[in-house]
A and B are shown apart, each in its own frame.
Chain A
Amino acid sequence: MTTALPAIAGSVYDGVFDLPALPEPARYGNVLISRSTKSSTHPSVSFSHWVHRQHYTCRVCHFELNFAMKTNTTEITEAKIKKGEYCGACHNNQIAFGVNDDTCVFCHTGNQGATDARFPELKDLPKAQYGDQINWVKSLKKKLIAPKQSILSDDYEPIPFDKVLRLEPEWSGIQTKAFFPHLQHTAWLDCADCHPDIFNIQKKGTKHFRMDYIKNGKFCGVCHLTVAFPIQDCKRCHTDLK
């Protein structure tokens, strides 16, 4: 399984927007972290989002543990992990396997497909069309998974903010709208994961909020290109698209 399948063509909009190619489902959301291994003999670290998101919501790592949203930008070091920061918050031999000479190779694989063999673990979860082909929102709603809301606060509950935004197109001749449901996002994320850095909170206050920027990793693209369902799945936001 070394050759990645070609981008699953299926959306007629692929051509219009020249969407980034998708890896095979088991590799979607897998990242190789080489920030400090580059200068050493250690193989880079393979991190699989789908392994972790079954057990923890996005906010746990991407807020409470201060992991950045771009590979290799988080200031992870072995010393910090051993002190209980970043991966070490769980990989401490109590919650998950700890860091020692025997376990190095669990993460330092240098292989983006290191978790391929575990992918069948997800076989009972509801399906989606793109990305890792798992409908995580439905999985959470149906309580097939119970990811932890917070590891720093025992009684953490997200604000039940259920406003659905209706985003009108700004191109002439285009009629499709986008619908943004807050509730599906706050189940995984803190408000401040997105506000105010990525999205302003004023109506139409976010400048440059356009599809071409999303495609290049900004706005929704911070998550919806690499981990959350990819933007090939047009209709999940543009629900009125025919």
Chain B
Amino acid sequence: MKRNILVMVLLVMVSASAVFAASNNFGTKKRMPRPEEFGNVVINNYSEKNNIAPVVFKHWIHRAKFTCRVCHVDLGFAMEAGGSDIKEADNLNHLYCGSCHNGKDAFGPTTREKLVSEVKNCDRCHSLDKDVKGQKSFNEYLKDFPQARFGNRVDWMKAEEKGLIKLKDQVEGISIKRQAIPNPKDFDIKSTILGMPDIIFSHKIHADINGCELCHPEIFGAKRGVTKYNMQDIFAGKFCGGCHAKVAFPFYDCQLCHLKEVY
């Protein structure tokens, strides 16, 4: 009984302090991530529990080589950090990161036996708060890429158009090649607020890197108009915000979507 009360008191204290912390942040501007931080994700399902630094996954390195679809559809990565619940054994079994990071297609994880001598490779991913040598330098790697205003400050679409990057849409042994479905037409999304420009949504741009299956039917229903959402939902990380708050160009740049002239 006493223990129950103690637990209750602790719970109340924890939730009260959480409310206090949250209440202090309202009405002010949040820190905007620096270009090299944008899209970086910390994965810490098991790392710290096993006394190893959490993984810092950098989207920018990977998106310069692969479409989003490869990882988020074929390899089954969740859309939230830690959502895939990846274990070391998964990677050693060639799942998730291990699909490419197998020592052949990309540097591999060292096995337990080799850990002492080849500890370097662990550090390349388990890198939170470490200065890891041998990683690509963000500024060096992207210095000639076309500029954007926010996010990584890189216009990834233009970079692909210009041939600076060539994105692979298949991973050998995992992806199954199917005949492509022709892209549905681009369409306008009417703004519900007078004076806000409408959105022009390009299926082609999205389908080229996401396929259909990354968005449909879970995030957006397959029929137009069945999914109701508004900008506040997007700000909260839903719908377009599933990508466009964290990895794809951030919603700071309104006119990249709201671009249809208002008459």
Count of B residues near A, CB < 8 Å? Answer: 30
A201 close to chain B: CB less than 8 A: yes
Is B141 located at the chain interface by the 8 A CB criterion?
Answer: no
A205 adjacent to B196 (CB under 8 Å): no
List residues of chain B with CB within 8 A of the CB of A206: 27
Contact A190 B195 (CB under 8 A): no
Q: Do the beta carbons of A198 and B258 come within 8 Å of each other?
A: no
Kindly identify which residue among A153, A197, A213 contacts B29, using a CB–CB cutoff of 8 Å. A197
Interface contact B194-A163, CB-CB below 8 Å? yes
Interface residues of B in 147-183 (CB under 8 A from A): 147-150
Segment 97-112 of A: residues with Cβ below 8 Å from B: none
- CB contacts (< 8 Å) of A201 on chain B: these are 231-232, 235
Closest residue to B252 on the A side, CB-wise? A192
Q: How far is the CB of B232 from chain A (nearest CB, A)?
A: 5
Q: Check B6 for interface membership: any CB of A closer than 8 A.
A: no
B255 at the interface (CB under 8 A from A): yes
Complex partner residue of B30 from A161, A197, A221, CB under 8 angstroms? A197
Chain A residues positioned under 8 Å from B34 (CB to CB): 66, 75
Least distance between A118 CB and chain B CB atoms (Å): 29
- B147 pairs with A66, CB closer than 8 A: no
B195 and A163 within 8 A (CB):
yes
Main SS at interface, chain A: loop
Given contacts A159-B196, A159-B197, contact A192 B251 (CB under 8 A): yes
A198-B29 contact, Cβ under 8 Å, with A159-B197, A161-B196: yes
Q: How many A-B residue pairs have CB under 8 A?
A: 73
> A200 to B232, Cβ gap below 8 A?
yes
Q: Contact at B193–A64, with CB atoms within 8 Å?
A: no
How many of A's residues come within 8 Å of B, CB to CB?
A: 39
> Any chain A CB within 8 A of the CB of B254?
yes
By the criterion CB–CB under 8 Å, are A68 and B29 in contact? Answer: yes
Within 8 A of B (CB), among A28-51: none
Is the CB of B28 closer than 8 A to any CB of chain A?
yes
> Is the beta-carbon distance between A195 and B235 smaller than 8 angstroms?
yes
Query: A217 to B28, Cβ gap below 8 A?
Result: yes
| B232 near A69: Cβ-Cβ < 8 Å | no
23 A–B contacts from the bound complex (CB under 8 Å):
A63-B32, A63-B252, A68-B31, A69-B28, A159-B196, A159-B255, A160-B195, A160-B262, A162-B195, A190-B252, A190-B254, A192-B251, A196-B235, A198-B27, A202-B230, A202-B232, A206-B27, A208-B23, A209-B27, A213-B27, A217-B28, A218-B26, A218-B27
Going nearest first, the 9 A-B pairs with the smallest beta carbon separation are: A218-B27, A192-B252, A196-B235, A219-B27, A69-B29, A152-B149, A197-B30, A197-B29, A161-B195
